Amino acid sequence: MSTEEKLAPDMRDLLAAVGEVLLKWAFLEHDMEKSLRTGRRAVGRTLSADRTPIIKLWRDTVRLSATDPTDVRSALLADVEEVASVRNSLAHGLWSASANPKNGKQAEVVCRARDGTYRTITFPELLETEARLHSLRERVRMLDFQC
C-alpha cells in the first residue's frame, strides 16, 4: 500500500468528520445560548420555555446589536451563516457518502435540499468547517451584547 493510500480518508474518517461538524455545531449553539443568557443585553424571552431555535434568537439579537455592516457582530453573523449552511445540509439532507481511498476520488457526502437540488461536501470542506466552528465558538464567547 502506498503512502498516499494510507493518508487518503476512508469511510470511517468521512463519517467521523460529519459527526464532528454536527457535534461542534451543538457546542456552538450552547455558547450562543449562554451568551444570550448572560450578556449585558439579555434576550427578553425565557429561553427554557421558548421553543424558538437558539440560532434564531441569537441571529435576531446580533442583528439588533450590530451598529453597521462593518461591525464585528455583522462579520460574525455572516461567518456563522456560512457554517450553518453546511450543518443544515448535513443535518437535514444527508443523502449519500462515498470514500474509497483506492479509486483516487475525494471522500465526500452528498446532501439533498428540500427543493430537490444536491450539494456535495468534500472531506477537506468538512475539516475546514470543523476548524471554523472551533474559531466561531471563541468569537461567540467574546461577543458582548451591549448597546
pLDDT tens, 48-103?
A: 566 788 999 999 888 887 777 677 888 899 999 999 999 999 999 999 999 987 88
Note the pLDDT tens digit of each residue in 9-29: 999 999 999 999 999 999 999
Phi, then psi, of 108 in degrees rounded to 5: -160, 160
136: in domain: yes
Domain extent at residue 29: 3-142
Residue 134 in domain: yes
Residue 110, domain member (yes or no): yes
- Asked if the structure places residue 64 within a domain, the reply is yes
Instruction: Count CB neighbours of 100 within 10 A.
Output: 12
Residue 29 lies in a domain: yes
Rounded to a whole number of angstroms, the distance between the first and last alpha carbons of the chain is 60
* 121 assigned to some structural domain: yes
> In total, how many domains does the chain have?
1
User: In this structure, is residue 147 part of a structural domain?
Assistant: no
| pTM of the model as a whole | 0.84
* SS3 state of residue 109: strand
Grouping H, G, I as helix, E, B as strand and the rest as coil, residue 96 is: strand
